Amino acid sequence: MPESITSNDVINSQQETISEIRLSVAKLCQDYSGDYWRELDRNQEYPTEFVKALTESGFLSVLIPEEYGGSGLGIVAASTILEEIHHQGCNAAACHAQMYTMGTVLRHGSELQKKKYLPKIADGTLRLQAFGVTEPTSGTDTTSLRTTAIKDGDEYIINGQKIWTSRAEHSDLMLLLARTTPLNQVSKKTEGLSVFLLDMQEAKKKGLSIKPIKTMMNHSTTEVFFDNLRIPEDNLIGDEGRGFRYILSGMNAERILIAAECIGDAKWFTNKSTNYANDRHVFGRPIGQNQGIQFPIARAYANMKAAELMVYHAANLYDKGESIGEEANTAKLLAADASWSAAEACVQTYGGFGFAEEYDIERKYREARLYQVAPISTNLILSYLAEHVLGMPRSY
């Protein structure tokens, strides 16, 4: 951790610590200006130096308990870190998974697995950044996934394919969801799926291959193929067949954290919009004097404030150990909408310059669009709220 942040601060004053974290993150981000991100974006390159700086400052290990080498903070602190990274115009997508993917190991792994992996994840020696769930044929219908893990002696043999496995080329470990019992032999589709923590460096030598996917923003995402890959049975996390449940419990944390990134993006866009609206003069007066320019920015700000309350409400409840499906999903929905409306207002405020690379608006605009679709799409959140919160019939 940076010198200014110690675990004692947490005991003294949670709020003070959060403010200090925010300041430290903002300071670190100042070394990574628009020039840095533009260059990476142009070449579709990974932000290695930025990720290294975050790792060395301890920001990526805040959720790991102190006994395993992290700082044992909660989702509020982690959300603050990610929000501030985005508020400063940087992008945490290259490394946010290092923060939370280990949660499945922490909650469901054996003591042996926790001792083996968590301290190395905490100090960055091991990167656990790849999360292999989505498949090309099944998409959002996760329980229909086709990748299989078949037990053979003291090993499992993995066959299948994943898509959109982000950061696979920049990860040492992958958390993988695969079917261990065929669909026609389970009473519920959610059963018979298992989670594995596999050593990617070993796997690449014997049946794992990775193919990058070029996307509209710089995201280091890939397709991953498993061809008779043999992994040791002790790569299984928790009980065989209960993996879907394990993965779901981690998804609420992911939704809150990514929602916090959207809040940071919304703040960044709104700062940019406001400054430009004040500075740019057309027809002899600042464009921000026109209500047609003011109102979309003010509305985006109001949307962000409401979403921010929901994000930190969900984060607080999560840290208290409460069940937060409704809050995590609502936070993700509102925050993704808030960042998108702030992005829209910003491009409109900048007029033609919104499309020029050097202003960073078009890059952030492309980046912000993702959160309407991933890690869960807006439609699926609405379905969740309609069915599980409001009690309407299941639609799929």
Ligand X SMILES: Cc1cc2nc3c(=O)[nH]c(=O)nc-3n(C[C@H](O)[C@H](O)[C@H](O)COP(=O)(O)OP(=O)(O)OC[C@H]3O[C@@H](n4cnc5c(N)ncnc54)[C@H](O)[C@@H]3O)c2cc1C
Q: Which amino acid belongs to residue 130?
A: A
Q: Does 252 bind ligand X (CB under 6 A)?
A: no
Residues 207-226 that bind ligand X (CB under 6 A): 215, 219, 221
Q: Which residue's CB is nearer to ligand X, number 26 or number 373?
A: 373
Q: Does 246 bind ligand X (CB under 6 A)?
A: no
Q: Does 377 bind ligand X (CB under 6 A)?
A: yes
Sequence-ordered list of residues with C-beta below 8 angstroms from that of 310, at least 6 positions apart, any chain: 259, 327, 330, 331, 334, 335
Sequence-ordered list of residues with C-beta below 8 angstroms from that of 186, at least 6 positions apart, any chain: 192, 241
Residue nearest to ligand X (CB): 139
* Nearest Cα to Cα of residue 229 among 147, 127, 163, 144: 147
- Selected from 100, 117, 131, 340, the binder of ligand X by CB under 6 A is 131
Q: Which stretch, 98-106, 244-252, 276-284, 378-386, contacts ligand X (CB under 6 A)?
A: 378-386
Smallest distance, Å, CB 261 to ligand X?
13
**Burial degree of 352 (CB within 10 A; 0-12, 13-18, 19+):** exposed
Smallest distance, Å, CB 190 to ligand X?
16
- The C-alpha atoms of residue 130 and residue 221 are separated, in whole angstroms, by 10
- The C-alpha atoms of residue 59 and residue 347 are separated, in whole angstroms, by 31
Q: Which residue's CB is nearer to ligand X, number 194 or number 349?
A: 194
Within 10 A of 19 (CB to CB), how many other CB atoms are there? 13
Q: Does 251 bind ligand X (CB under 6 A)?
A: no
Q: Which stretch, 37-45, 75-83, 262-270, 377-385, contacts ligand X (CB under 6 A)?
A: 377-385
Sign of CA dihedral 167, 168, 171, 176: positive
Q: Which stretch, 202-210, 229-237, 282-290, 369-377, contacts ligand X (CB under 6 A)?
A: 369-377
Q: Where do the H-state alpha helices sit in the chain? A: 7-12, 14-29, 34-43, 48-56, 75-87, 96-100, 103-108, 111-123, 200-203, 243-279, 291-319, 325-350, 361-369, 378-384
- Selected from 16, 49, 115, 139, the binder of ligand X by CB under 6 A is 139
Q: Does 301 bind ligand X (CB under 6 A)?
A: no
- Selected from 140, 201, 278, 323, the binder of ligand X by CB under 6 A is 140
Q: Which residue's CB is nearer to ligand X, number 225 or number 353?
A: 225
CB-based contact 277:354 (threshold 8 Å): no
Q: Which two tokens stand for residue 282?
A: 């057309």
- Selected from 383, 385, 386, 387, the binder of ligand X by CB under 6 A is 383
Q: Does 373 bind ligand X (CB under 6 A)?
A: yes
Q: Does 164 bind ligand X (CB under 6 A)?
A: yes
**Burial degree of 373 (CB within 10 A; 0-12, 13-18, 19+):** middle
Q: Does 379 bind ligand X (CB under 6 A)?
A: yes
Q: Does 134 bind ligand X (CB under 6 A)?
A: yes
- The C-alpha atoms of residue 244 and residue 197 are separated, in whole angstroms, by 14
Say how many CA atoms lie within 13 Å of 117 toward its Cβ.
25
Q: Residues in contact with ligand X, total (CB under 6 A)?
A: 23
Q: Does 145 bind ligand X (CB under 6 A)?
A: no
Catalytic positions, please? 254
Q: Which amino acid belongs to residue 349?
A: T
Beta bridge partners of 174: 130, 198
Smallest distance, Å, CB 111 to ligand X?
27
- To the nearest 10°, report the CA torsion of 86, 92, 96, 99: -70
CB-based contact 365:343 (threshold 8 Å): yes
Smallest distance, Å, CB 367 to ligand X?
10
Q: Which residue's CB is nearer to ligand X, number 79 or number 129?
A: 129
Question: What is the pattern of x (binds ligand X, CB under 6 A) and - over residues 329-368?
Answer: ----------------------------------------
Q: Does 147 bind ligand X (CB under 6 A)?
A: no
Q: Does 386 bind ligand X (CB under 6 A)?
A: no
Q: Which residues bind ligand X (CB under 6 A)?
A: 131-134, 139-140, 164-166, 215, 219, 221, 370, 373-377, 379-380, 383, 395-396
